[in-house]
Structure 1
Amino acid sequence: MTTRTIAVVSAGISVPSSTRLLADRLAAATVSALRERGVDTKVDVIELRDHGHELVDNVLTGFPRPELQAALKAATDADGLIAVTPTFSASYNGLFKMFFDVLESDSLAGKPTLIAATGGTGRHSLALEHAVRPLFAFLRAMVVPTSVFSAPEDWGAGDRTAQSLDQRIARAAGELAEIVAARPAQKAADPFLEPTPFEQLLNGS
């Protein structure tokens, strides 16, 4: 089988985290959907709470530490992206925003992306459409049609809301897998292939 890489960005704060739980379920469903299409998958999980101080330093200095640089590279080099945030004040949280703020310009352009969020109540579900999806539209990522929101009531065992969450996870994962499987594997960019011209460096541009 061919192999693709899926980067999973989880911006959960607590441990254990419902955001990470949702991220893991989306990743597992995507791996399964890709396997059905004859594609093997490597999953790279990026837990943003582990990079909180590094993200603040990057925002202040403009330079990522090696650990954060590796996480940024994993996201930009992946064939597909799953991005999951908790909902704070009807939007994504600060860690989530900072991570995507410090990415290089256009590094997610055309990237197949699945967006998801968690919240204390289903009333926050519209945050995906009025906050998270516009963020990735600005980054020019290719966001799949189905977004996935989960509230505490969605995690019941075997009840109707839990079944609905399972269905949404499967549908979104299938959409992401369909796009990723149809594309050639992403190749990591080599910065030495197209070095910045010396004249441009002198001009500071």
Structure 2
Amino acid sequence: MHTRNFDLIAFDWDGTLFDSTKIIVRCIQAAVRDVGGTVPTDKAAGYVIGLGLMQALAHAAPDVPPEKYPELGARYRYHYMTHQSDIILFEGVLPLLDSLKARGHWLAVATGKSRRGLDEALQSAELKGIFDASRTADETAGKPDPRMLHELMEEFGVPPDRVLMIGDTTHDLQMALNASCPSVGVSYGAHEPDDFAALAPRHVAHSVRELHDWLLANA
């Protein structure tokens, strides 16, 4: 039987389990399709993320004439509002969660999302019953305040050294540090992993597969 090093594993949501980038890519593609342009590839649509909206759309859809830009922007906003709550998990997340669950870990979400936003996401049939608890920024203190983790520790009766926080931002890792909990960073989300070093994570995973392997060996 596997000996657990951590009883409770808490995950950030956006950028750690949930791939927000894919929603933006899909919405750009749908908007271009709506106005009759050549639909950009995933790579081309992803490249423009971070630019101003109209600059991004113009770059992603070079064959759409400027007079259609207002319509293009409106269609992008429509699709984004329609799909912003879609469940788009990083590939490999469900097997990872299933493996941890099978080994007897308690699983939680500690997120900056609202309770409504997280609950809508967790309505997915694939995620029902996976998480044992969750905390959101609008119902307790936001990151990097340690209150989310303190509340989870109290709920499960788990000391700090038996809780592992996993996240893609310095806010996640600082929260863990503030709560005296170990942490693991992931480099495929929002923040550059070079910024993690000062926050002393146990590991920085560069893919969900690497995170999965590390957790099976160390959690």
TM range (shorter): 0.3 to 0.5
TM-score, with length taken from structure 1: 0.41
* Higher strand content, 1 or 2: 1
TM-score with structure 2 length normalisation? 0.39
